[in-house]
Amino acid sequence: MAINVRRIIPNINSVDLESSKIFYRDFIGLELVMDMEWILIPN
């Protein structure tokens, strides 16, 4: 039985938010769908 994951929301405590965005985008392959400067929501 396959599971279709449509969205994950990681809770990240980071002092370097830009590096965290790069990691989740480039390494894990998530797309950033909302950036309010204090909360980022990847898809």
DSSP per residue, 1-43: --------------S-HHHHHHIIIIIS---EEEE-SS-EEE-
d(CA 38, CA 10): 14
pLDDT (tens digit, 9 = 90+) per residue, 1-43? Answer: 899 988 777 777 888 888 888 888 898 888 877 777 766 666 6
pTM, rounded to two decimals: 0.54
Q: What is the pLDDT of residue 40?
A: 63
Choose among 12, 16, 15, 19: nearest CA to 41. Answer: 12
Pairing relationship of beta strands 40-42 and 32-35 according to DSSP bridges: antiparallel
Q: What is the pLDDT of residue 41?
A: 63
Q: Which residues pair with 35 in a beta bridge?
A: 40
- Structural domain boundaries in the chain: 1-43
